[in-house]
Structure 1
Amino acid sequence: MSDRTGAEVDVAIVGAGFAGLGLGIRLARRGHADFVVLERADDVGGTWRDNRYPGVACDVPSHLYSYSFRPAPDWSRVFAPGEEIHDYLRRAAVEEGVEPHVRYGAEMSRARWSARDGRWEVTTTAGTWWARVLVVAAGRLAEPHVPDIEGLDDFDGPVMHTSRWDDDVALAGARVGVVGTGASAAQVVPRLAGRAGQLTVFQRTPAWVVPRGDRPYTHGERRRLAEHPEAARALREEIFDDAERAVDARRRVRPAIDELRERARAHLRDQVDDPDLRARLEPGYEIGCKRIVLSDELYPALARDDVTLEDSALARLDGRTAVAASSARYDLDALVLATGFHAARQPYAPRVHGRRGTLAEHWADGMTAYASTTVHGFPNMFVLDGPNASLGHNSAIYMIETQIEYVLGALDHLARAGGPLEVSAAAERAYVRDLDAAARDTVWLTGGCRSWYVDEVSGRLTLLWPGSARSFRERNARFDPAPYVPTAREW
């Protein structure tokens, strides 16, 4: 063993969002106390800590967007507000005994595998940890994407990304520009309409929008779900099964995709009377190619007299004047960027150093992993909510829980057989070939759009699992040591 400084731990988990906390909870319940959760911020919650913009809420019904092993019967609405989800995660961390394991202000600057020590050296802004196992649970919606807009740095007014919202910025009566018409914009635009003096929405590409159907749960409903856990479980299963049926549309199965497209078009016709505005809001690509927006409020907001839809991108800023790609000019006092995240190219990847290079180098042609969780060349490392581990039609929490089961199985195997444990290159390649074949005819690759689901370099579908949530669990919930070897060596 070499000389080394820093704390030693069995499992180091990077990130305290749904994935990191979920694994921490399961470890704590097993009596496994030798783990640390390294969190760069000063609170748990991940996406739901960072996103505090007006109107932020989940697009998955509340009773499905929670841990199956920690149900919450008291959600206030069908679609929980962001603050409520954040509170749920805070309570879980405390009540499950995970919070004492969290180290705040500990942003990972480098993680390096030491073959000599058989451990990961995880260097953070709060110190160094040596861990037998590294679990990267940093998520895919952690680093905001700020577009390269000429003059943005010189804009003479406040600029906010939706995930870095500042409540101290005075927007009442102001001339506000919003860049984007995706999921975040669909929530924030209705809250700014009427509050801003004039709202201009820059739409590079329109989104397909379907009815949301949100409503508050009645006191009686909440009491019944709290008093009858079997009713809450049945509701969760009903929501899950309903969401699973939507995968057929993503596979371009008829009549499923035709029915979904008509549902969106009917929603547009019902909510927008102006034929010109309606034409500008109808996408020219197939439904599902980009993330489908759930909203009953976006279209009415865009139809307001004090809201302008600029159906071209924001090209540049000249002082406080925004110039669109159409050459239209708008004087603004503030700018809101609803422009998403660095999802397909993860910012943590260059910081993770395996046996032969960085994770970014391994992912030069797009993210890959065996079982969507382990990567050749990176022994004893697991990635949660990473390559092909999300869905375009169902709950991400279901996928995270599947991966947690896989990691726990791997930890059990390591306890029995020792390690290090590394997946073979051949197993990872074969898994990726299977996914590429399954994705080939899906709407994400054939729908005629550009989306953050697809890697821009390779053109591969790297974010989403190209099948049902159940099929992901059937393939990836149980750890199988066959594709692995007990020692890190060359193949």
Structure 2
Amino acid sequence: ISPLFGDLEGLPPIHMQSAEEDTILSDAVRLEARAREAGVAIEHRRQGHLWHDFQSQAGLIGAADEAIDAAGEAISRCWHGSAEGPRVAIIGSGFGGIALALRLQRAGIEEFTIFERGTEVGGTWSVNTYPGAACDIPAHVYSLANEPNPDWSRAYVGQEEIHAYLKGIAERHGLLSHIRFGAEIARADFDEGAGLWRVETMMGETHEAEVLVSACGQLSRPSVPAIAGMESFGGAMFHSAEWAHDVDLTGKRVAVIGTGASAIQLVPELAELAGDLRVFQRSAPYVVPRMEFSYPAPVRWAFRKVPALRRLHRLFLWSVIEFFGLGFGRSQAPLWPLKRGHRKQLAEQVPDGALREALSPKDEIGCKRVLISNDYYPSFNRPNVELETTLIREIGEGGVVTIDGTEHPADAIIWGTGFKANEFLTPMRLFGRGGLELNEAWSEGARAYFGMTIADFPNLFLMYGPNTNQASGSIIHVLESQANYILDAVQALRRRGGGTIELRPEAGEEFEREMQSRLADSVWTGCQNWYVDERGRNSNNWPGISSEYRRRTRRLDPAHYVVTSPARVREPVA
């Protein structure tokens, strides 16, 4: 007997779940239409690229767990009435903001607003549009587990493909109506009496929300070193993350300063375009071969029709990356294959001995970010490309001046100098309990419990916050873990009809001691890098692998938090 053929009028609210590969998906779509025609409230939760009865796999796949949770929430809303709030304000529409929005939506929570300073969805993938911009993690791992894309064109996809993936998710799930574009947050103040956050945009607009989530990440603010004479340069000058597409570099003299992740993608592209390309290197990075391959049409078809194949492929890639992640602690043995690959590639691709020596790293592998490329080293064999290892003294009107007094003429200077990774929320200002400013709370360095919560800042959550950067692995896995964790907190508040949830100081202090103790034995202490600040403190990296992070954040631990009820009586989280 099918409800498609019955009288639907007068039915209570319906919560229906289906999957894109469900054999009766068309019936579900028809039922949704009939219910709406009959005036019945219906919530149709569609899951991409799964099969009929996927919920029976609860405990094995995350989508099934989420589906069961969503069904429970729907029953609870129907039985007890739909409690309002808490309202959630999310800053940023990159992977983190999108992951959290989807998680809230799937739990039946629609009272959320995403504040995006740009004009498009995508975060870093909407603004980093320099030539050669691509992900250095395999695409089938660098994607949301519950939003798989069987049609990735190749192992390491470019910026445009990733950006299109995120825009597609936002459009498919109706997230665009939740996003305020062109809204950069200037400050946020916690109102203890009302138990909510008041956020103010750079344009002076104010908004209120009970829960505030920063999904800005660590790599959203370009870093440009303060070098004397920059204002005197007569040509074009810009950071790789702020690419000036109106500047034609064809046949021009171009200086690239920096040899980080963006620079090694950019240099091969510029080598074919510029008349003269000079790359200024302070220290040589480890560049290992990129295991590049495309996915032919038959493989993409198989990934669409047999989702288990795609999941196995993703699991294989993820397992390899997790293995390498074990090499950043006390023992670097798991990184030996990468070190051998680097040496072999450098020897084969750079025949000139002096140049090869200049491109050889002097630090231990892993101390700085390990980079992947097959065409970076060959770029320096071209007659129009030169590596410059002498330190820079100043920028002159006509180019770059090194400490030996040599002026290197340039028509354009491109900064490939990374991001202000240690300035997590800059320039935004946050004020918590008692008017405490976050910058003051972080006067000795940024810290947060599992990178998410901070004592004296109720109902504030960070995504990709302190000590969550993955040395080897997909940050997406961490962001999904954080989205689940934040949802736990939101639902705890929802069950109580409001209030606040706040980290106990002793929990944060214990976690901080653990992080710094483990990081002291890591490979990152052996060189100058962007992970370690001027105090020698690492506030960026997670000392383990992503599966450990997932395990330890699977559920919010009530013992580490206190809650303020709407009546403002502090009590433990039940």
TM range (shorter): over 0.9
**Secondary structure class of the residue paired with 1:74:** coil
Quote the residue 1:392 is aligned against: 471
| Letter of the structure 1 residue corresponding to residue 219 of structure 2 | L
- Native 8 Å contact 2:392 2:401 kept in 1: yes
User: Which residue among 206, 210, 223 is the counterpart of 1:132?
Assistant: 210
Q: Map Cα deviations across residues 282-333 of structure 1 (whole Å, 9 max, x no partner).
A: 1111110010110001000022111010013332111113112343321110
1:481 corresponding residue in structure 2: 558
Q: Residue type matched to 1:425 in 2? A: P
- Give the secondary structure class of the aligned counterpart of 2:500: coil
Residue deviations 1:66-101 (CA, integer Å, cap 9, x gap): 100100010111101011100101111111111100
Match of 1:343?
421
5 Å-filtered alignment, 1:186-205, equals: 186-205=264-283
Question: Which residue among 470, 495, 503 is the counterpart of 1:423?
Answer: 503
Give deviations 1:6-46, integer Å, cap 9, x for gaps: xx971000111110111111112222111100111111101
Match of 1:34?
Answer: 111
**Cα deviation code 1:174-224 (max 9, x no counterpart):** 000000111100000000002100000000111011001223221222121
Cα separation, 1, equivalents of 2:240 and 2:86? 36
Note the C-alpha offset of 1:350. 5.3
Bigger mean CA deviation after superposition, 417-426 or 76-85: 417-426
TM-score by length of 1: 0.95
| Most deviating of 162-171 and 306-315 | 306-315
Contact 1:179-1:314 within 8 A present in 2 as well: no
Structure 1 residue 125: Cα displacement = 3.4
Amino acid at match of 1:143: R
- SS of 1:244's partner is helix
* Structure 1 residue ranges (4+ consecutive) displaced by more than 6 angstroms after TM superposition: none
Q: Per the alignment, do residues 37 and 486 of structure 1 end up closer, same or farther by CA in structure 2, a change over 3 Å counting?
A: same
Measured after TM superposition, the shift of residue 254 of structure 1 is 5.3
What's the counterpart of residue 55 of structure 2? none
User: Structure 1: how far apart are the matches of 2:291 and 2:331?
Assistant: 25
Residue matched to 1:210: 288
> Where in structure 2 are the equivalents of 1:102-117 lying within 5 Å?
102-117=179-194
Q: Indicate yes or no: 2:168 matched with 1:88.
A: no
TM-superposed CA distance for 1:252, in Å, is 4.2
Out of 184, 203, 213, the residue aligned to residue 262 of structure 2 is 184
In 1, distance between residues paired with 2:425 and 2:545? 28
Q: How far apart are 1:419 and its partner, in Å?
A: 2.5
Distance in 1 of aligned mates of 2:109 and 2:495:
15
What value does the CA root-mean-square deviation take over the aligned residues?
Answer: 1.6
Per-residue CA deviation, residues 144-192 of structure 1 (Å, 9 max, x unaligned), is 0011111112210111111111211010000000001111000000000
CA contact (8 A) 2:86 2:490 kept: no
Q: Residue 331 of structure 1 corresponds to which residue in structure 2? A: 409
Return the offset for 1:227.
1.6
TM value normalised by structure 2? 0.81
Work out whether residues 186 and 427 of structure 2, in 8 Å CA contact, stay in contact via their aligned partners in 1. Answer: no
1:404 aligns with 2:483: yes
Q: Distance in 1 between matches of 2:405 and 2:258?
A: 17
CA distance in 2, matches of 1:477, 1:334: 48
What residue number does 1:435 align with?
Answer: 515
Q: SS of the residue aligned with 1:193?
A: helix
Give % identity: 41
Could you tell me which residue of structure 2 aligns to residue 5 of structure 1? none
- Alpha-carbon separation, structure 2, partners of 1:263 and 1:252: 21
What letter matches 1:72 in structure 2?
N
User: Are the equivalent residues in 2 in contact too, given 1:11–1:34 (CA < 8 A)?
Assistant: yes
- Alignment-derived partner of residue 150 in structure 1: 228
Unaligned runs of 5+ in 1: 1-7
Q: CA deviation at 1:400?
A: 0.3
Tell me, in whole angstroms, the C-alpha distance in 2 between the residues paired with 1:38 and 1:313: 41
The 8 Å contact of residues 40 and 104 in structure 1, kept in 2 or not, is answered as yes
Pick 1 or 2: higher relative contact order, CA cutoff 8 A, min separation 6. 1
Amino acid in the other structure paired with 2:187:
R
Check whether the contact 1:350–1:361 (CA below 8 A) recurs between aligned residues: no
* Deviation of the 1:371 alpha carbon: 2.3
AA aligned opposite 2:360: E
Q: What is the rounded CA distance, in whole Å, between the counterparts of 2:317 and 2:455 in structure 1?
A: 36
1:268 to partner: Cα distance: 1.1
User: Residue 197 of structure 2: which of 112, 120, 144 is its match?
Assistant: 120
Q: Tell me the SS of whatever aligns to 1:379.
A: coil
Kept in 2, the 8 Å contact 1:109–1:123? The answer is: yes
> Which residue matches 2:78?
none
The answer to which of 213-222 and 227-236 deviates more is: 213-222
Asked whether 1:44 is paired with 2:124, we answer no
Structure-1 residue corresponding to 2:61: none
- SS of 2:246 mapped into structure 1: coil
Task: Determine which structure has more spread, i.e. the larger CA radius of gyration.
Answer: 2
What does 1:361-400 align with in structure 2 at a 5 Å threshold?
361-400=440-479
In 2, Cα distance between equivalents of 1:215 and 1:279: 30
Matched residue type, 1:404: A
